[in-house]
Amino acid sequence: MSMLTPPGMGRKYRITGKRFPHMRRPRNRRRIVLAAVTSTAAFALAGWGTFQLVDVFTGGPSETQAHGAGAKGAKGAKDGDCKAADEGEEPKPLPRPSDITVNVYNATPRGGLAKITADELKSRGFKIGKVGNAPALYDKKVEQVGLLIGAPTAAEGALRVVGTQMAGAEVKNDQRAVDEEVDLVIGNEYKELTGRQDADRALTDMGVEPGEAPSESPSSAPPSPSKAASPAPRPSKC
């Protein structure tokens, strides 16, 4: 038996030939995993670089260019909106006090308020229509200062003008066809109309010339036609 024959293998197994058995170092799994990860990263980097080159040579927009174009478009749209708003139709002039007929109704238990209020409004240039107690719909049922009732189309016209005379009044609309007619219903919290100076200042700020009491004495000279005051320009939202 040869000296290279392992113990117990002398009879059944024999080593023949010129090669000798030798031990083989086991494979390192860490190296295999590291090599696989490195290869994957290399392929991914190469693909990303190729994509960037294609984007450059095909003239694709960059992120900065995209943001710049968007900002420019937004600014252009805003300027267009402002220009369209400025070039729109001019607002309709507000009516003067002498163009508005006010019906004064008293919805409180206190007597005489409708007559006193109507006389004061007349002295401020308003036309006075009906004066008396409030209809059953509102009689003794208005707790606030008062109500201003008019046509829906009078919301930006006669109702605004009369509203300068009664601060805190609630505005309502009905189906009447006359724009320059307003019902003023006096409520329980009413004390008096807005001060004359404050009311005239509010009218002036709106572009309306404050009214004056009509002259009782006849005049020999023919009345000169008065021009409607143009409303104050509204501030631009741009």
pTM for this structure?
0.55
Q: CA-CA distance, 58 to 42, in Å (whole number)?
A: 25
* Closest of 212, 215, 211 to residue 203, by C-alpha: 211
Q: What's the confidence (pLDDT) of residue 39?
A: 75
- Is residue 160 within 8 Å of 148, Cβ to Cβ? no
Q: CA-CA distance, 146 to 144, in Å (whole number)?
A: 5
Q: CA-CA distance, 81 to 211, in Å (whole number)?
A: 38
Q: What's the confidence (pLDDT) of residue 119?
A: 97
Structure confidence by residue, pLDDT tens digits, 75-90: 554 555 555 445 556 7
Q: What's the confidence (pLDDT) of residue 53?
A: 56
Structure confidence by residue, pLDDT tens digits, 12-60: 555 555 555 555 555 566 677 677 777 777 777 666 666 565 555 565 5
Q: 203 — phi, psi (to 5°)?
A: -65, -40
Positions in the chain whose pLDDT score sits under 70: 1-30, 33, 45-89, 215-238
